[in-house]
């Protein structure tokens, strides 16, 4: 099963297929893999030993970044994520560690999680998706309901105390309008985090 895989010059980590959301645009609906990887559907969730063994097979003189992403929400396995990031920091201290997340770690864990990322994760990339809580609910369909959008914003704002770079992402036109992009930019300015508008890629 595919625990780690290559995307351009980064090593991506696939910890779980679980996710509290069911986004209408989720890539998982398009097929079992991305960027030529083998299937990202896991037979079972890998142990910490298996994750470290898989991370350890890459040549980090070639790869500059490890990204926790995969076919699920990586913070569903926060203990394994952080333990393997700790291994990376101890064995490959120059490697940049990023987590691509829906920002719902606190709701998943049922407690604040932001401080746990300190010293282990360099960038949190959080999917903002939209400026409108109602639209977020309709598009991301989180199992936490209306609590999800404000919890995601709170996670971003709080995490910046512990993580050097917190980025919130949306997709460019036609997924978002310039008006929505401006509102998202205002949200990020208020939270003190950076907005990244990802280029829309039609299939
Ligand atoms: S949060 Fe990510 S993994 Fe989860 S459903 Fe949405 S796009 Fe898919």
Atom of ligand 1 nearest to the CA of 140: 6
Q: How are strands ordered across the β-sheet holding 123-127?
A: 4-7, 10-13, 65-68, 96-101, 123-127, 165-171, 194-198
Q: Given this model, what pLDDT does residue 202 score?
A: 56
Q: 106, 154 in Cβ contact below 8 A?
A: yes
**28, 143, 152: which to mutate for ligand 1, most atoms within 8 A of CB?**
28
Could you say which architecture CATH assigns to the domain 4-198? Alpha-Beta Barrel (3.20)
Q: 32, 41 in Cβ contact below 8 A?
A: yes
Q: Which tokens belong to 60?
A: 């980090």
CA 19 to ligand 1 center in whole angstroms? 6
Atom of ligand 1 nearest to the CA of 28: 8
141 lines ligand 1 (CB under 6 A): no
CA–CA dist 192, 203 (Å, integer): 33
Atom of ligand 1 nearest to the CA of 20: 4
CA 18 to ligand 1 center in whole angstroms? 9
86 lines ligand 1 (CB under 6 A): no
24 lines ligand 1 (CB under 6 A): no
Q: What is the pLDDT of residues 75-85, one digit of tens each?
A: 999 999 999 99
Q: Given this model, what pLDDT does residue 174 score?
A: 87
Count of Cβ atoms closer than 10 Å to residue 138 Cβ? 11
**12, 13, 73: which to mutate for ligand 1, most atoms within 8 A of CB?**
73
Q: Omega of the bond prior to 30 within 30 degrees of 0, cis?
A: no
Q: What is the pTM of this model?
A: 0.96
Give me the tens of pLDDT residue by residue for the chain, a chain 203 residues long: 999 999 999 999 999 999 999 999 898 888 887 777 789 999 999 999 999 999 999 999 999 999 999 999 999 999 999 999 999 999 999 999 999 999 999 999 999 999 999 999 999 999 999 999 999 999 999 999 999 999 999 999 999 999 999 999 999 998 899 999 999 999 999 999 999 999 877 54
């Amino acid at each position: 099963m595919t625990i780690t895989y290559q995307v351009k010059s980064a090593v991506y980590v696939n910890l779980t297929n679980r996710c509290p959301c069911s986004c209408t645009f989720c890539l998982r609906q398009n097929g079992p893999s991305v960027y030529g990887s083998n299937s990202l559907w896991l037979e079972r969730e890998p142990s910490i030993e298996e994750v470290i063994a898989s991370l350890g097979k890459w040549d980090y003189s070639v790869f500059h970044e490890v990204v926790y992403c995969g076919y699920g929400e990586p913070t569903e396995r926060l203990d394994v994520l952080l333990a393997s990031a700790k291994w990376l920091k101890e064995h490959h201290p120059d490697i940049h560690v990023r987590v691509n997340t829906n920002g719902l770690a606190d709701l998943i864990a049922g407690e604040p999680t932001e401080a746990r990322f300190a010293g282990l994760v360099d960038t949190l990339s959080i999917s903002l998706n939209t400026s409108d809580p109602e639209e977020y609910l309709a598009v991301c369909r989180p199992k936490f309901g209306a609590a999800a959008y404000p919890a995601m914003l709170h996670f971003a704002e709080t995490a910046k105390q512990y993580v050097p770079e917190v980025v919130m992402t949306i997709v460019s036109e036609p997924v978002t309008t310039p008006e929505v992009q401006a509102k998202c930019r205002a949200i990020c300015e208020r939270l003190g985090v950076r907005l990244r508008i990802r280029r829309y890629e039609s299939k």
